[in-house]
Amino acid sequence: MHLTIFGSGYVGLVTGACMAEMGNHVVCVDIDEDKIARLNAGEVPIYEPGLDDYISRNREAGRLEFTTDVGKGVAHGLFQFIAVGTPPDEDGSADLKHVLAVARSIGEHMDDYRIIVDKSTVPVGTADQVKAEIATTLESRGRKIEYDVVSNPEFLKEGAAINDFMKPDRIIVGTDNPRTTELLKSLYEPFNRNHDRVISMDIRSAELTKYAANAMLATKISFMNELANLAERFDADIENVRIGIGSDPRIGYHFIYPGAGYGGSCFPKDVRALAISAGKVGYDAALLTAVEDVNNRQKHRLFEKISQHFDGNLDGRTVALWGLSFKPRTDDMREAPSRVLMEALWESGARVRAYDPEAMDEARRLYPEQAGMTLCESAYDTLEGADALAIVTEWQEFRSPDFPAIKASLKTPVIFDGRNLYEPDAIEALGIEYYAIGRGRH
């Protein structure tokens, strides 16, 4: 099948590469000339395991193209995927200007039936706005052309997006036309070989499903962080509690790991946007507001522990920091807990020596001339001259480090573990002070 994807960011690139991998002919359109030039030169602008191989292979096979030519894109695909960003507006709601700009572009160039697929994460009712935008544009052209707008939200985890797309848990298809539902099922048929994963529903329910999924996962994380803070005050161990409640199949073990708070491009933005959408229809979504409040507070817990340990005197001290990305297997630092910690340390006069396996370039981009930040070549390089070690991202290479080397390198042997990677008794038996999240009074 012929597909056009507007937006060559995270969702657009993964969707385009995976659709092409199944034999479809995909054209990705983006107005960013530099990004398209880099993609056509074989450079992938984001880090996602396996994505560069998929893009390279399908470009060479002629199944995947990148262009800034909007007209070419609209003419190419029966399916017109909208996968542009929906960044937070000033009030925290999703900004739909890019989505609606694509809708106008489609309306300006289409000459035949098209299926417009909302892939971006958008508020309930966006499909109606997209439909109206196209209708207005077609009317201004004096044209009457049939089209359908559907909701087909993505459920991709950064760091595992290729596998998520190729072997999806579910494929949500929101339509108001049975014919369109069947066409979408045909498009996704190669991803349904084992069993049918397509769940069809009305458009507004599909739009809400995406927000509901992210809000539910964020709620589990904030709930566990709330319990972790209680565990510290009760002198209990949240890791024992986690195992105890996770064994209940009604709860399960997924997303009940306490830590330094969630970040990234989805959970913070989507929880906020859903709460604001609720307000616009006259409903006070108190739980969603609490989820966000708990998460924002949790991002400060590591700094609070560090400051308390050093009696509030951080001026002139150096903290080694392991992990900059908001989660492992990505270079994404959007709303990452590491940024909250570093900025608090700098404000207190401390210096940071940081390392991340993938996010170093992103850190340089975000903090190009930041005094007090040194980006190091390895995890152990960060320890040189440092007063303490803080762990913010649970990369695999941090799980079993050389603790004697850590102790020997630090001025004061102390670890602040924002991801509960180690056993407190074992670390303290080595003569290293250890602060974790929810593991007793430390």
List active site positions. 266
Enumerate residues 6+ apart whose C-beta is below 8 A from 147: 110, 113, 114, 115, 116, 134
CB 403 within 8 A of CB 430: yes
For the chain, the residue count is: 442
The DSSP result for 288-316, as a single string, is HHHHHHHHHHHTTHHHHHHHHHTTT--TT
Q: How far apart are CA 151 and CA 198, in angstroms?
A: 13
How is residue 406 written in tokens? 């850590």
Q: How far apart are CA 344 and CA 296, in angstroms?
A: 13
Considering all CA atoms of the chain, what is the largest pairwise distance in Å, rounded to the nearest integer? 79
Residue type, 344: A
H/E element holding 433? strand 433-435
CB 200 within 8 A of CB 180: no
CB 204 within 8 A of CB 194: no
How is residue 307 written in tokens? 């400051």
Q: Is the dihedral of CA 288, 294, 297, 301 positive or negative?
A: negative
Number of helices (H) and strands (E), helices first, in the chain?
Answer: 17, 14
CB 337 within 8 A of CB 356: no
417: Cα within 13 Å, side-chain hemisphere: 26
Three-state DSSP class for 333? coil
